[in-house]
Structure 1
Amino acid sequence: MPVAYRRARQILFIYRTFIDHNTNRFKVQTPTAVAVQEVSPWDIALCVTGTLISCENALVIAILFYTPTLRAPMFILIGSLAVADLLAGLGLILNFVFNYLIDKSLEFLTLLSVGLLISAFSASVFNILAITVDRYLSLYNALTYHTERTVTFTYMMVVFIWVSCLTLGLLPALGWNCLRDETTCSICRPVTKNNAVALAITFLLVFALMMQLYLQICKIAFRHAQQIAVQHQFLAISTTKGVSTLSAILCAFGACWLPFAMYSIVADSSYPIIYTYATVLPATCCSVINPVIYAFRNPDIQKSLWMACCGCVPSNLSLRPRTSSDV
């Protein structure tokens, strides 16, 4: 009996060993759960902002494209600004997709996303400057503004802006990035700290030039307002509206972009990323405001928008001839 008992215990031990071995083997072969990356609410906010930017500016582009009468120089610049902001919105959406839905180790996609954002936002800033220059010339050379030379000059400005901004966007792909040396990164990877500082200083120069042009426009507008007779009161109202519009432009432009520009100069990749988000988000909001300031306030664009949506024009909508100060 003891011999049989020992034999039974040996068989039971061998059976348990076999079961444990196969169980461990099966556990090893079972695939582990894939870690899900947590989505940052800041990235969601940027993606939503990009979607809003894209919808707004796509509407502006559609109105300008399907309305043959909107071909004046100011509408050319508005269209160029809308294209820049549309690309900026698409860039924000693509950046979200590349970060959370596609392998982040693909350097090509990172450089593509950053290059698109640099080109688009740079073009947006320079188009705002071009519109400011156009407003100044429309008041300074009021008699010769509506000529073929002005149209040619406008197209030259648009071409120069886009060539310059596309070149800036290609710089990261041409090697001007910090992918090989993370210590040289700016607050916006993979842009290097030196490049970010250069872009920020360029923005500050653009803003200073816009302020100077704004002061000159104010002087000209106030001088015109004093010289215009009572029978030309319409022109005085139009000039005053142009000055108030430009004031709104500068306030919105500075409030949106100055925090990001100043932070880009003083900070680098070692700073908390929440500060970067807190300055980037207001900067992107400038592209949300631009269609409202430049396009939807214009009577001609309002008329085309009402015609496209309702097939009629409200009786209270001003149908006076457009002037160069309406934007």
Structure 2
Amino acid sequence: MIVSLAAAVALSGGLNSSSRPDPFDASSWTDATNTSSSPDPSPALTSPSDTSPDTSFFPPQDVSPWDIALCVTGTLISCENALVIAVLFYTPTLRSPMFILIGSLAVADLLAGLGLIVNFVFTYLVDSSVEFVTLLSVGLLISAFSASVLNILAITVDRYLSLYNALTYHTERTLTFTYVMVVLIWVLCVALGLLPAFGWNCLQDEAACSVCRPVTKNNAVALAVAFLLIFALMTQLYLQICKIAFRHAQQIAVQHQFLAISTTKGVSTLSAILCAFGACWLPFAMYSIVADSSYPAVYTYVTVLPAACCSVINPVIYAFRNPDIQKSLWMACCGCVPSFSLRRRTSSEV
């Protein structure tokens, strides 16, 4: 998925930095040979500073503030989603298909956060010029961000089916079907993450790189178009959800006023979810289509940082707003259920 292109952006900053001086430069050998071959006429006049061994090492690499921001974002993502995973794992009642998809999304975002942290470490603490390090970091981030977007799409489809087939949804939507769908999502995303290691990269041709090295320009455009198609599909599904919700409100005349108010609230919530997703990913998707490696790196950082922040918003939208997860969090933190009512949302409320 195009969203996984953000996975590789931090590498461009670290890998494009000024190269370190080569301690095995032939010129340094020549200087050292000439110095050792000529006798010192007055060793007694040589100052201690001249004879002290050279203890200087490679100059420290400047840390980009953008990379620091991505690392901090990755830390926040990891903490949030680790909490969601812990709640789902230790609460036996949260085993429905909806919570399985939420858990899969949390795992994807957790890996994305860890990938941002690992990428920062590889860029500044490990020799990032090694191809294996570059491909490993990029592959992890591509897989994680791809899984995050596909799980969001799966959750959208699940919400649509819960309204479109409200009477038969709970009998048709089995755990086995949900697990199979999750496995297929992860197999596809892992395959996308392995593509750079299988030769789909621009390490041997820097001119063919996109804004996210080592993804090529052609592959970046293809992934961007794929993301735009996914976003269009999500928009269509949410529009259908809104139509079904308003239809439910009109069919029940007795509760018309209540359902009209709650449906309006649900439509506003869906609009906020879709707008947040689009605001996070659309700038980077469009930029990946029009830009290439010759563009300033700051533009890439400006567009990819909001895309990474989408994984910060996901736990709030899909997990922490759920009444059952809220109840489990209160039980884990305080040992009791809050005094205010945690009312379940009906399908009409979206």
Match of 1:222 in 2: 246
C-alpha deviation, 1:229, in angstroms? 3.5
Deviations 1:259-280 (A, max 9, x none): 0000000011110000000001
Residue correspondences, number: 312
Deviations 1:27-50 (A, max 9, x none): 6x4233420000000000000000
Match of 2:146 in 1: 122
C-alpha deviation, 1:185, in angstroms? 0.8
| Secondary structure class of the residue paired with 1:313 | coil
Distance 2:92 2:345 in 1: 15
Match of 1:284 in 2: 308
Match of 1:86 in 2: 110
Deviations 1:97-128 (A, max 9, x none): 00001111221111011011111101111111
The 1:24–1:285 alpha-carbon spacing in structure 2 relative to 1, beyond 3 Å, is: closer
Within the candidate set 51, 56, 61, 1:26 is matched to: 51
The 1:190–1:325 alpha-carbon spacing in structure 2 relative to 1, beyond 3 Å, is: farther
Match of 1:314 in 2: 338
The 1:15–1:213 alpha-carbon spacing in structure 2 relative to 1, beyond 3 Å, is: closer
1:132 and 2:190 aligned: no
The structure whose RCO (Cα within 8 Å, separation 6+) is larger is 2
Distance 2:308 2:293 in 1: 20
Percent of aligned positions that are identical: 82
State whether residues 224 and 236 of structure 1, in contact with CA within 8 Å, keep that contact through their aligned partners in structure 2: no
1:177 and 2:208 aligned: no
Match of 1:48 in 2: 72
Structure 1: gaps spanning 5 or more residues: 1-13
State whether residues 64 and 70 of structure 1, in contact with CA within 8 Å, keep that contact through their aligned partners in structure 2: yes
C-alpha deviation, 1:195, in angstroms? 1.3
Match of 2:135 in 1: 111
The 1:82–1:241 alpha-carbon spacing in structure 2 relative to 1, beyond 3 Å, is: farther
Larger Rg: 1
Q: Which amino acid is 1:32 matched to? A: S
Within the candidate set 324, 329, 344, 1:305 is matched to: 329
Within the candidate set 95, 98, 111, 1:71 is matched to: 95
- TM-score scaled by length of structure 2: 0.83
Match of 1:250 in 2: 274
The 1:248–1:31 alpha-carbon spacing in structure 2 relative to 1, beyond 3 Å, is: same
Deviations 1:190-217 (A, max 9, x none): 1111111111111100000001111111
Bigger Cα displacement from structure 2, 220-229 vs 302-311: 220-229
Distance 1:232 1:74 in 2: 28
Distance 1:192 1:74 in 2: 36
Match of 2:186 in 1: 162
